[in-house]
Structure 1
Amino acid sequence: MALYVHKYGGTSVGTVERIRHVADKIVQARRRGDDLVVVVSAMSGETDRLLGLAKQMQERPNPRELDVLLSTGEQVTIALLCMALEARDCPAVSYTGAQARILTDAAHTKARILDIDTAKIRRDLDRGRVVVVAGFQGVSEEGDITTLGRGGSDTTAVALAAALDADECRIYTDVDGVYTTDPRVEPKARRLDRITFEEMLEMASLGSKVLQIRAVEFAGKYNVPLRVLSTFDDGPGTLITYEEEDMEQALISGIAFNRDEAKLTVEGVPDRPGIAAAILGPVADANIEVDMIVQNVAEDDTTDFTFTVHRNDYPKALEILEGVREELNARKVTGDDCIVKVSLVGVGMRSHAGIASKMFRALAQEGINIRMISTSEIKISVVLDEKYLELAVRTLHDAFELDKAPA
């Protein structure tokens, strides 16, 4: 008998009717003979509603109490889903994160899972029950309720699948799989039958919102086969797994993009050891994450130092650099918060030369200027003016013929 972990997100359980629909899918799976552990999120909009209530009480809510409050959203869903299953003569039992013995560290609102005691869950599975677990939450060693951060239900599902040695972890959502790029930008985008953990991790980090990064990391670490499927439409979805030798591997698997980018440049700083640390140190001290970095050295022994940050951090980063400009002996500080990052992702890049030149040539033919470039073993990222985003994505999708399945 196969054991599957199903995860249903907020849109999948957003109304009573949708919870009933999920219950029907679970009953169908049980009739096929599958053992099931089901992880659910709060109903769509509920976490935001609870956050709003908290902020009416405190501008910066106490993290411990915030976790107590936010964890109630998933408790509503697990109880309603179990009621729907019982109404269909399908034995079910609900667990909060604490009842499921999901042990985490004590970092409230962004806790990490340390261990899961699966004994109770296994006993219920042996009794023929569907086990319904609240995602996004756990319990610290001190017995405090903790939450895992936004999107944490994906991580809960993958962690349970790893702990239970499940045959597959199935993430049900409002899309029917992972696509070569966002179909809203490129209508010819194609659903991928499979993609590697490595590629999915890059796609997630570069702006693809299908899966939470931590969940993909966890699945890759513990070799948990992940499948992304639609709650509302039947289909095979996309399997996320390790690269196999006999797997027909496309050159490029997908195009990811991120609109939330901003660029800062410190111009005319002395070209000397330690200047990068002097520039980025104050930025890091403000808890601002830096992404791409480019340094250009001029003939007069000065350098222009450029880096990107999340667009929300742009005003603060600009203020910091202006504050240390004289200390750096820099000519000026400039910035641009109307840029985007577009990336090609594919493990096939490892064994093929010429990907970058083909990418740059395709963009140049459309008059798209590249502002920055960054590469890794399976990724090439470029920074462009925001107005070129959709044109760039469609151009690259055509250039690499991503609408066609690998031969």
Structure 2
Amino acid sequence: MKFIVQKFGGTSLVNDETRRMAAKKVIEAKNKGYLPVVVVSAIGRMGDPYATDTLLKLACDGNWELSPRESDLLMSCGEVISGVVMAATIQKEGHPAVFLTGLQAGIITDNNHNDARILKVNPENIIKHARDGKIIVVAGFQGATENGEITTLGRGGSDTTAAALGVALDAEWVDIYTDVEGIMTADPRIVSDARLLEVVTYNEICQLAHEGAKVIHPRAVEIAMQKDIPLRIKSTFSSAPGTLVTSRGEAYKGSIDITRDRTITGITYISDITQFRIPMDGCGDTAGLQRRMFEALALAGISIDFINVHPDVVIFTVKNSVAAKAAQILENMGLRPSILPDCAKVAAVGAGMTGVPGVMARIVGALADEKVQILQSSDSYTTIWVLVKKKDMEKSIRALHRQFGPGEKDIERR
């Protein structure tokens, strides 16, 4: 059985016209001999009647606080409504279809309401309906525990659903349909000459997603990578080929070595973050204090990022929204952090930078030419991060995009 999984986001399902365009993609795949399994998000975005955020606002307008269990039940309704309507749309086009909730599709999760992890997928019900000649529509973003409690998978969970089903069904590929034509070398709202990437590796897209690119959830990529299921990021509203996400070997089969093909794949960013610098001079048991500090922040549920630990100073970032809470915790410990709000983390991502000298020099040079101060930096094999003031963020993104020309060949070293 040649399964493919097709996931459609909320903007692809917002009205009759867009749903018919999505249904056309599904029927085209069926006519080519594939067995489509369609994963749907809730219809539309905040403000649309059946969007997840709209449903939550409806319940919480009276300043009530839903329990995680009840909020999961409420949030799961958006995908159920969307899935039933999508199945009906496909049926109107003359093709039998059936809708399944996450539980009916065999998606079993842990007990972590609002951000559950998929433990396993039992695809027997999907396979049965496929054998009966039906197109299967599955509610994204949701599953159920072993004892039948409804759970949701966190933001971007429909991508995760699609990847998990792709692995469970040994699908030919997973298509992620959205309102853009694929992965771009940078945010086109900031970089006017950003280009579409035809092929990226799993590792590259994971880094891009973790560092702010919102086209696909990184957890979905990690799941697909386990079984080397190709992902394709495509637009519901065009016939453009989109971006193929696959393994390094497949991505560059038949081309020159990746390290001579492109150094940087894309530039992305995360804004609205605050930098903390905590002096350690004169603190006595520095290691013990650092441990207590990080434990206190963790107990308060504060996620920290961009962490540099030195004998005389500790530097990290948090979201602007929790900066005041973090500052209070540190001050209660007798620490006096230096706090810089409204920063942005700009990342240059590319598997081709591994082992290549001079990449950081080019980053520093490009930003220096624009008189951008680097507040902090870090790197891995595939990513270099710099922290800048938010007012310099867009200028930094454009400068790095010009410097590396992501997506074009970068054979000459400077």
TM-score normalized by the length of structure 1: 0.93
Q: Kindly tell me the number of residue pairs found equivalent between the two proteins.
A: 397
Alignment-derived partner of residue 151 in structure 2: 146
Give the 3-state SS of the residue equivalent to 1:364 in structure 2. Answer: helix
Is the 8 Å Cα contact of residues 209 and 218 (structure 2) preserved in structure 1? Answer: yes
Cα distance per residue 1:7-58 (max 9 Å; x no partner) = 0011111123221221122222222222100000110131111101221466
Answer yes or no: is 1:340 the counterpart of 2:344.
yes
Relative to structure 1, is the Cα distance of residues 296 and 167 closer, same or farther in structure 2, using a 3 angstrom cutoff? same
- In structure 1, C-alpha distance between the alignment counterparts of 2:68 and 2:292, rounded to whole Å: 33
- Once the two structures are aligned, what percentage of the paired residues are identical? 39
- In structure 1, C-alpha distance between the alignment counterparts of 2:197 and 2:54, rounded to whole Å: 35
Give the 3-state SS of the residue equivalent to 2:367 in structure 1. Answer: helix
- In structure 1, C-alpha distance between the alignment counterparts of 2:4 and 2:407, rounded to whole Å: 31
Q: Which of the residues 262, 265, 276 maps onto 1:253?
A: 265
Matches within 5 A, 1:223-242: 223-242=228-247
- In structure 1, C-alpha distance between the alignment counterparts of 2:273 and 2:136, rounded to whole Å: 41
Alignment-derived partner of residue 300 in structure 1: none
Is the 8 Å Cα contact of residues 272 and 390 (structure 2) preserved in structure 1? Answer: no
Q: Which of the residues 393, 396, 408 maps onto 1:392?
A: 396
Q: Which of the residues 355, 358, 362 maps onto 1:358?
A: 362
Q: Which of the residues 408, 411, 414 maps onto 1:404?
A: 408
Alignment-derived partner of residue 297 in structure 2: 283
Answer yes or no: is 1:305 the counterpart of 2:319.
no
- In structure 1, C-alpha distance between the alignment counterparts of 2:136 and 2:102, rounded to whole Å: 12
Give the 3-state SS of the residue equivalent to 1:71 in structure 2. Answer: helix
- In structure 1, C-alpha distance between the alignment counterparts of 2:383 and 2:92, rounded to whole Å: 49
Alignment-derived partner of residue 207 in structure 2: 202
- In structure 2, C-alpha distance between the alignment counterparts of 1:314 and 1:218, rounded to whole Å: 33
Alignment-derived partner of residue 29 in structure 1: 29
Cα distance per residue 1:100-146 (max 9 Å; x no partner) = 12111121111111111111211221222110001011111111111
- In structure 2, C-alpha distance between the alignment counterparts of 1:75 and 1:172, rounded to whole Å: 19
Alignment-derived partner of residue 93 in structure 1: 98
- In structure 2, C-alpha distance between the alignment counterparts of 1:292 and 1:352, rounded to whole Å: 23
Alignment-derived partner of residue 109 in structure 1: 114
Relative to structure 1, is the Cα distance of residues 277 and 7 closer, same or farther in structure 2, using a 3 angstrom cutoff? same
Q: Which of the residues 65, 74, 79 maps onto 1:69?
A: 74
Unmatched runs of 5 consecutive residues or more in structure 2: 46-50
- In structure 1, C-alpha distance between the alignment counterparts of 2:280 and 2:68, rounded to whole Å: 43
Is the 8 Å Cα contact of residues 103 and 114 (structure 1) preserved in structure 2? Answer: yes
Relative to structure 1, is the Cα distance of residues 50 and 367 closer, same or farther in structure 2, using a 3 angstrom cutoff? same
Q: Which of the residues 368, 372, 376 maps onto 1:372?
A: 376
Answer yes or no: is 1:319 the counterpart of 2:328.
yes
1:282 maps to amino acid: A
- In structure 1, C-alpha distance between the alignment counterparts of 2:269 and 2:291, rounded to whole Å: 28
Alignment-derived partner of residue 307 in structure 2: 293
2:173 maps to amino acid: E
Is the 8 Å Cα contact of residues 274 and 319 (structure 2) preserved in structure 1? Answer: yes
1:260 maps to amino acid: D
Relative to structure 1, is the Cα distance of residues 113 and 296 closer, same or farther in structure 2, using a 3 angstrom cutoff? closer
Cα distance per residue 1:132-179 (max 9 Å; x no partner) = 001011111111111111210000000000000000000000111011
1:288 maps to amino acid: I
Is the 8 Å Cα contact of residues 6 and 170 (structure 1) preserved in structure 2? Answer: yes
Is the 8 Å Cα contact of residues 35 and 130 (structure 1) preserved in structure 2? Answer: yes
Alignment-derived partner of residue 53 in structure 1: 58
1:34 maps to amino acid: Y
1:295 Cα deviation after fit: 4.2
- In structure 2, C-alpha distance between the alignment counterparts of 1:353 and 1:261, rounded to whole Å: 30
Alignment-derived partner of residue 42 in structure 1: 42
- In structure 2, C-alpha distance between the alignment counterparts of 1:117 and 1:231, rounded to whole Å: 29
1:403 Cα deviation after fit: 5.9
Unmatched runs of 5 consecutive residues or more in structure 1: 298-302
Alignment-derived partner of residue 165 in structure 1: 170
Alignment-derived partner of residue 20 in structure 1: 20
- In structure 2, C-alpha distance between the alignment counterparts of 1:353 and 1:111, rounded to whole Å: 41
Is the 8 Å Cα contact of residues 397 and 403 (structure 1) preserved in structure 2? Answer: no
Is the 8 Å Cα contact of residues 136 and 155 (structure 1) preserved in structure 2? Answer: yes
Q: Supply the RMSD in Å over aligned alpha carbons.
A: 1.7
1:216 Cα deviation after fit: 1.4
1:391 Cα deviation after fit: 1.0
- In structure 2, C-alpha distance between the alignment counterparts of 1:177 and 1:334, rounded to whole Å: 40
Give the 3-state SS of the residue equivalent to 1:358 in structure 2. Answer: helix
- In structure 2, C-alpha distance between the alignment counterparts of 1:82 and 1:278, rounded to whole Å: 53
Alignment-derived partner of residue 214 in structure 1: 219
1:199 Cα deviation after fit: 0.8
Is the 8 Å Cα contact of residues 5 and 37 (structure 1) preserved in structure 2? Answer: yes
Relative to structure 1, is the Cα distance of residues 370 and 107 closer, same or farther in structure 2, using a 3 angstrom cutoff? same
1:294 maps to amino acid: N
- In structure 1, C-alpha distance between the alignment counterparts of 2:349 and 2:390, rounded to whole Å: 20
- In structure 2, C-alpha distance between the alignment counterparts of 1:228 and 1:261, rounded to whole Å: 29
Is the 8 Å Cα contact of residues 197 and 407 (structure 2) preserved in structure 1? Answer: no
Give the 3-state SS of the residue equivalent to 2:10 in structure 1. Answer: coil
Is the 8 Å Cα contact of residues 180 and 255 (structure 1) preserved in structure 2? Answer: yes
1:268 Cα deviation after fit: 4.9
- In structure 1, C-alpha distance between the alignment counterparts of 2:52 and 2:320, rounded to whole Å: 24
- In structure 2, C-alpha distance between the alignment counterparts of 1:147 and 1:402, rounded to whole Å: 36
